Amino acid sequence: MGWLRRALRTVRVGLVCGLALLVGIFVAAQISNRVFRWRAERLLADMQAVELHKSTWADAQRIMTRWGKWGHYDGQCDASNCRYEIQISDAFSVLLERIPAKTEDYFKVVRIVRTYDRLGGREANLRSSFIVQDGQIVRRGAYFVLSVPWVADEDSYPWNYGYALVANVVSVQRVLNWGDFRSGARLASDLYYGAGKPSGCEGCMETTIVYSDRTPPEVVVRLNAIRLDCLTSWKRCTTIEDVLPASKPFHLHDGAISGRPALSASEQLPEASPHPCNIPIWARGRDATWILSVDVLHDETVKDGGAREDEKATVRVTGSIKSDGNHAVGESLAIHPYSFDANYPSILAEHLEPGKRYLVAFYDRGYFKEMGKSKDIGLDPCGILDDTPEVRIELERGIASNDHLRQPELRHWPIP
C-alpha cells in the first residue's frame, strides 16, 4: 500500500501548493489594489490643487519633480510652453504589458486575468496631464480606466470577456466645439461643461466630461471627483456612474449591458418642441472659431446632394469681431445656414434674409462644401445673429475669455 500513501501525499502536497498559490495571488492582488489607490489619490490630489490660469510654472515644476518617474513630455517643456503627462498603473497591468503580444499567448493571458479578477484584483490605469503656457497652467485632464470581470452571458459579446469603465475629464476652451452640441440635454444648464460618449467603443463604458477653462474652481473639483474606493471595495463598481458621479445626470449609458436600467416612460423628459437656438450669446462668442459681419446679397434653394433642399445665401463681408485671418472685408462668400435635420427635430432651421446685415458664427463642427472652384460654408445651429450693439457686447464678453492656446487641446479620444 506504499504507492497509495505516496499518491495521497502527492495529492495533499498539490492541494496545499494550489491553496498557497491562490492565497498568494489574493494577497498580492489586495496589496496591488491598495498601493495603486494610495498613489492615485495623491496624484489626483495634486491635480485637484491646480487652478487654471492661476497656478504657475513653479507649481507645475513641483508636480513634475514629485511624479517625474511616471511622467513624460515631448519636445519643448519650459515656462513658455509645456505639455506634460503622468501615467500610473496597478502592478498587475504593468506585468501584463511585458507579456509578448503573440496570438498563441492570448488565451493564456485571458485565463491569468480571469483568475486574478476572481481573486479580487483590479486592473486600473490613471493618466493626468496639463499644459503650461506663458508661465501659467491653462489646461488639465484626467483619464481613468478600471477593468470589470467578464459578464456570464454568451450572448453579450464582447462584454462576456469583461469590459472597461473609462472616465475622461478634461478642460477645454470651447465647450460647444466638442462633440455634437445639437443634443442640448448633454450640456449643463450653465454651459460651463458637457458630457458625451465615443462611438464604436466595444467592450467599454466610457464617458467624457469637458469643461470650460473658466469654470468656477468648486465645480471643477466636483467634475474631477473620481471614486478610487472602487479599487478596494469588496463590492465591485460596475457602471461608469459608480466611478464618475458627475456623469449621473446625463444618463449616457442607461440600458446598456451592466449599465443602469433605462429610464421608464414616466421618468423620461418630454421631447422639446421645435425652438430657435437657446444657447446664450456670450457662449457663442467664447466658442466660435470666427464671427463675421455680413450683408446678404441674395439667396437660393439648392439640392444638398440628395433629395433634401438646402438654403444658400451669397453674402459680402463688412467686418469681423473674431477672425481667423482668412476672410477680407468686401469678399463674397456662399453660406449655407443650418437646415432642419430630422435627427434633431427640436432645432429650427435658420435663415439669412436678403438686404439685411447679420453676424455669422462658425464653429469647429461646421463644414466647407466644395462647389466647383469655390468653397461654400455650412453653418451649425446658433450660427446666425442680428448685428446689433447689444449682441456685439455679449459676443465680446465671451470672446474676452479666450486665451489663444498655441497647441492642440488635451484629447484622450477623437471627437465623434
Q: What's the predicted TM-score (pTM) here?
A: 0.78
- Whether residue 214 is found in the same domain as residue 346: no
Task: Pull the grid cell for residue 392.
Answer: 456685439
Q: Are the C-beta atoms of 136 and 55 separated by less than 8 Å?
A: yes
Residue 270 falls within a domain, yes or no?
Answer: no
- The answer, yes or no, to whether residue 357 has pLDDT greater than 90, is yes
Q: Which has more pLDDT, 174 or 109?
A: 174
**Facing residues of 298 across strands?**
314
Residue 405 falls within a domain, yes or no?
Answer: no
Residue 191 falls within a domain, yes or no?
Answer: yes
Q: State the DSSP code for 407.
A: S
Per-residue pLDDT reduced to its tens digit, 114-159: 666 777 777 888 999 999 999 999 999 999 998 887 655 545 544 4
191 lies in which domain range?
20-250
Residue 33 falls within a domain, yes or no?
Answer: yes
For residue 131, what pLDDT is reported?
Answer: 95
Q: Could you tell me how far CA 199 lies from the centroid of its own chain?
A: 12
Residue 262 falls within a domain, yes or no?
Answer: no
Identify which of 183, 195, 193, 143 has the alpha carbon closest to the alpha carbon of residue 165.
143
- The answer, yes or no, to whether residue 367 has pLDDT greater than 60, is no
- Whether residue 312 is found in the same domain as residue 358: yes
- The answer, yes or no, to whether residue 4 has pLDDT greater than 80, is no
Residue type, 254: D
- The answer, yes or no, to whether residue 368 has pLDDT greater than 50, is yes
Q: Are the C-beta atoms of 102 and 64 separated by less than 8 Å?
A: no
Per-residue pLDDT reduced to its tens digit, 309-345: 778 889 999 999 988 778 889 999 888 888 876 666 6
For residue 71, what pLDDT is reported?
Answer: 93
Centre a 10 Å sphere on the Cβ of residue 230 and count the other Cβ atoms it contains: 21
- Whether residue 209 is found in the same domain as residue 294: no
Q: Which has more pLDDT, 316 or 93?
A: 316
Among 48-62, 94-108, 220-234, the range of highest mean pLDDT: 48-62
Average pLDDT score over residue span 371-396: 82
Average pLDDT score over residue span 395-407: 87
Phi, psi of 363 (to 5 degrees): -105, 165
For residue 217, what pLDDT is reported?
Answer: 87
For residue 188, what pLDDT is reported?
Answer: 56
CATH number of the domain enclosing 378: 2.40.50.120
For residue 179, what pLDDT is reported?
Answer: 53
- The answer, yes or no, to whether residue 359 has pLDDT greater than 90, is yes
- The answer, yes or no, to whether residue 350 has pLDDT greater than 90, is no
How many structural domains compose the chain? Answer: 2
- Whether residue 288 is found in the same domain as residue 232: no
For residue 415, what pLDDT is reported?
Answer: 35
**Facing residues of 303 across strands?**
309
For residue 371, what pLDDT is reported?
Answer: 46
- Whether residue 68 is found in the same domain as residue 125: yes
Per-residue pLDDT reduced to its tens digit, 167-206: 999 998 887 765 544 444 355 555 778 888 776 666 778 8
> What CA–CA distance (Å, rounded) separates 158 from 205?
12
